[in-house]
Amino acid sequence: NAGVTQTPKFQVLKTGQSMTLQCAQDMNHNSMYWYRQDPGMGLRLIYYSASEGTTDKGEVPNGYNVSRLNKREFSLRLESAAPSQTSVYFCASSERTSTDTQYFGPGTRLTVL
Partner 1 sequence: AQSVAQPEDQVNVAEGNPLTVKCTYSVSGNPYLFWYVQYPNRGLQFLLKYITGDNLVKGSYGFEAEFNKSQTSFHLKKPSALVSDSALYFCAVRREDSNYQLIWGAGTKLIIKP
Told to check if 22 binds partner 1 by CB under 8 A, we report no
Instruction: Give the closest residue to 67 by CA, choosing from 49, 79, 81.
Output: 49
- Is 17 or 67 the residue whose CB approaches partner 1 more closely? 67
Least Å distance between CB 79 and partner 1?
24
Residues that bind partner 1 (CB under 8 A): 4, 31, 33, 40-45, 48, 50, 56, 58-59, 90, 92, 97-99, 101-107
